[in-house]
Amino acid sequence: MPDDSFESKNNEEENFADLFESYMTDNQELNVGDKINGEIIAIGDKNVFIDTGTKTDGVVEKNELKDKNDEFNHKVGDTLELYIVSMNEGEIRLSESISGAGSDRLLYDAYKNHIPIEGKVIEDCKGGFKINIAKKIAFCPISQIDLKYVETPDEYIGATFDFLITKIEDRGKNIIVSRRDLLKKQHEAAKKEFFKNVKPDDILDGKIKTIMPYGTFVEIYPGIEGLVHISELSWSRVAHPDEIVKLNDMIKVKILDIDKDTSKISLSAKQATGDPWESVRTKFKNGDKTEGRVTRCADFGAFVEIDPGIEGLVHISEMSYRKRILKAEDLVSPGDRISVMIKEIDPINRRISLSMKDAEGDPWINIEKKYSTGQVVSGRIEKKERFGFFVVLEPGITGLLPKSKINAAQNPSEIEKLKNDDTLLVKIEEIKPKERKISLSIGNEVSATEWKTYAKNEKSSSGGSLGDLGEKLQSALKLKK
């Protein structure tokens, strides 16, 4: 049979070894300056005793745990978050914030061991601020109250912060503190944690801190900034960052690259929102009419942005039904907002064909309802050629007055004297809508001198049109007869 006493003895030795190892490990883990969570195990008249998780209990002054009304509201079993301010074999001294009724010894311990101490900013004074710490007045230089430059000292008055004591003399009568040193330590710790967890392709919220011609610096974590190059600001063309962002704007950014050696971070604002070409077909389809902004002009046409990052081309042949366009800038300029119709979308090659003239409407539609054979109308000479005159009847509608019709007139030499932009009466001879052609002949016979007189008088009057002019001239011709 097995010896039960022998087995029991072995178990006791193993348990003792475990307890001894735990005891040694626990004692090694605690250091002055550590923050611990401890349970209240006893409450005395002046001190509160805390379970530190080691063989040595912690002690914190009872007065330090009282609230603003000088009431002690804790009980056995409550868990408190406290700092270790000093340690020896028989005692671990603890403090919640080393404030309130803290003793001089605790202030010296905080100074010696670089423990944060809570203080309230009472008022500003020459060169800094007066701070109330443990019922004593300390001085904090203005350069040490924050990491940033202090422009408005008043905003700090009345606030409570943690400080580090940098100097203490004359039994606590001369105390100098710094919040900046503590913030630096906290920032460095947070920075390490940030770089430990963040990675490329992460999308974060950021604040615009600095705007430069080549891009903008965005704060993505307190004290940590990355650069959004101008090419990564928007899918649209951007000449200067201030066209689309301003200081303190909140934007989403995507991390492109992190150089942990130099702490440089490359960011992208446009990639955080997704490529607009991936969803272009869900927003637009062939035949849609929309509005866009002219971004640039070339001799062969104009580029128009119809959505952020989505540009299409209006070829020069698609710019107008109503006039001949020799180059795009004859009709539009960069920055103009214009109406366009989508003719074709090619998302693979990132191309969209646009038309201004189709968005405006084709003046040749229902042309036969506007004009009829034999009708006499007024027109403007657009261009004189050896084979005849091109005559504009209305914007977008041009007819041809052949040389043969001019020669057949009663006064061909007078008609030949007319110049481009001069007006004359013509008669509709034939209309071919499919071919977009109208054949003309001379309307009522009149001398060039008489015609120019009527044309000049009409142009000088307000609200005139070619139709009105033709009617008036015909009336004048009837009176002349």
- For residues 51-61, average pLDDT: 87
Please name the fold of domain 367-480: OB fold (Dihydrolipoamide Acetyltransferase, E2P) (2.40.50)
**According to the per-residue pLDDT averaged within each range, which of 64-68, 260-264, 375-379, 472-476 is highest?**
375-379
b/e map of 92-129 (b: 16 or more CB within 10 Å)? bbbbbbbbbebeeebbbbbbeeebbbbbebeebeeebb
Given a cut of 90, whether residue 129 has pLDDT beyond it is yes
Question: For 112-124, what is each residue's pLDDT tens digit?
Answer: 878 888 889 999 9
Given a cut of 70, whether residue 458 has pLDDT beyond it is no
Q: Give residue for tokens 């950014």.
A: 253
Question: Count of CB atoms within 10 A of residue 64's CB?
Answer: 21
Whether 109-184 and 367-480 share one fold: the answer is yes
Q: Please give the structure tokens belonging to residue 388.
A: 């005849």
Given a cut of 50, whether residue 152 has pLDDT beyond it is yes
- Rounded distance between C-alpha atoms, residue 54 and residue 94, angstroms: 14
**Strand 224-229 versus strand 289-298 pairing type:** unpaired
Residue type, 416: E
Query: Which band of pLDDT confidence, cut at 50, 70 and 90, is reported for residue 142?
Result: very high
Q: What's 5's DSSP letter?
A: H
**Weakest mean pLDDT among 48-52, 198-202, 302-306, 458-462:** 458-462
Please name the fold of domain 109-184: OB fold (Dihydrolipoamide Acetyltransferase, E2P) (2.40.50)
**Of 342 and 361, which is predicted with more confidence?**
342
**Of 59 and 464, which is predicted with more confidence?**
59
- For residues 334-347, average pLDDT: 90
Q: Do 121 and 156 touch, CB atoms closer than 8 A?
A: yes
Question: For 412-457, what is each residue's pLDDT tens digit?
Answer: 888 888 989 898 899 999 998 888 899 999 986 544 444 454 445 4
Q: What is the pLDDT of residue 22?
A: 47
Question: For 243-267, what is each residue's pLDDT tens digit?
Answer: 889 988 999 999 999 887 777 899 9
Beta strands in 88-152 (DSSP E): 92-95, 117-125, 128-133, 136-141
Q: Please give the structure tokens belonging to residue 239.
A: 């000449």
Q: What is the pLDDT of residue 26?
A: 46
pTM: 0.46
Handedness of CA 259, 261, 264, 269 (dihedral sign): positive
- Rounded distance between C-alpha atoms, residue 89 and residue 112, angstroms: 19
Kindly report the length of the chain.
Answer: 481
Q: Please give the structure tokens belonging to residue 398.
A: 């041009």
How high does pLDDT run on average in the chain? 81
**Weakest mean pLDDT among 26-30, 37-41, 221-225, 336-340:** 26-30
Taking each continuous run of H as one helix and of E as one strand, the counts in the chain are 11, 25
- Rounded distance between C-alpha atoms, residue 464 and residue 471, angstroms: 11
Q: Please give the structure tokens belonging to residue 113.
A: 């061991």
- For residues 202-207, average pLDDT: 91
**Of 373 and 115, which is predicted with more confidence?**
373
Q: What is the pLDDT of residue 465?
A: 43
User: Cα 26–30–34 angle (5° rounding)?
Assistant: 145
What number does CATH give the domain 198-273?
Answer: 2.40.50.140
Q: Which H or E run includes 388?
A: strand 388-394
Given a cut of 60, whether residue 347 has pLDDT beyond it is yes
Given a cut of 90, whether residue 6 has pLDDT beyond it is no
Class of domain 288-360: mainly beta
- For residues 310-336, average pLDDT: 87
For the chain, give the percent of residues with pLDDT over 90.
26
Nearest to 53 by CA among 76, 13, 25: 25
Domain edges within the chain: 109-184, 198-273, 288-360, 367-480
Beta strands in 286-372 (DSSP E): 289-298, 301-307, 310-315, 337-346, 351-355
